[in-house]
Amino acid sequence: MLTFSIDSRVELWNRDGILRKRLPRNGDSFISLSFNPDGNILAVNSDDKIRLWNQDGTLLMVLKGEKDELTSISFSPDGKTLGAGSGNRTIILRSLSDIKLDFLIKQGCELLKDYLENYPKTVEIDRSLCSTTL
C-alpha cells in the first residue's frame, strides 16, 4: 500500500500497516500515482515531473513533462508504456523498456563521479561524460 500527500511525502506500507519505506521528499506536490501491472514499479507525478521507483524505494528515473501541468498517469496493461495526461489536453506516451539501461548508466556514473572529476590524468572531455546523467 502507498500513501502520498501534497507536501511531497510518499510512504510505502505493508499489509499490516507497518511503514516499509519513506521515500525522500523533493519539494514537489504530488498529483497522482500508478503501479505497473506487476506492482514492482511505482510512478508518481507532480506538476511537471514523473518519478519512477522500484519496490524497495530506489529512484529509477525522473521524467520531465512538457510546459503544461501533468494531471494524471497510468501504465499500459503490459507495463511497457507509461501514459501521462497533460493540462493542454495532450497525452504523452513513454516507452519504459530503457528504464533498466538508464538506471545502470546512472549507477555507473555515480561510481565514476569522483574519479572523473579528480583524477589528474582524466582528459577534459571525459570529465563531463556523466554530467547529464547525475
Q: What is the pLDDT of residues 42-90, one digit of tens each?
A: 888 877 788 888 877 778 878 776 666 788 899 999 988 999 888 788 8
Q: What is the pTM of this model?
A: 0.64
Tens of pLDDT, residues 29-46: 677 888 899 888 888 887
C-alpha–C-alpha distance, residues 81 and 94, integer Å:
6
pLDDT of residue 56: 75
Average pLDDT over residues 11-37: 80
Tens of pLDDT, residues 106-117: 778 888 888 888
- Band the pLDDT of 25: cuts 50, 70, 90: low
Helix and strand tally (H, E) in the chain? 2, 10
Instruction: Tell me the domains of the chain and their CATH numbers.
Output: 2-97 (2.120.10.30), 98-134 (no CATH)
DSSP 67: S
pLDDT of residue 1: 77
Q: Is the dihedral of CA 106, 109, 111, 113 positive or negative?
A: negative
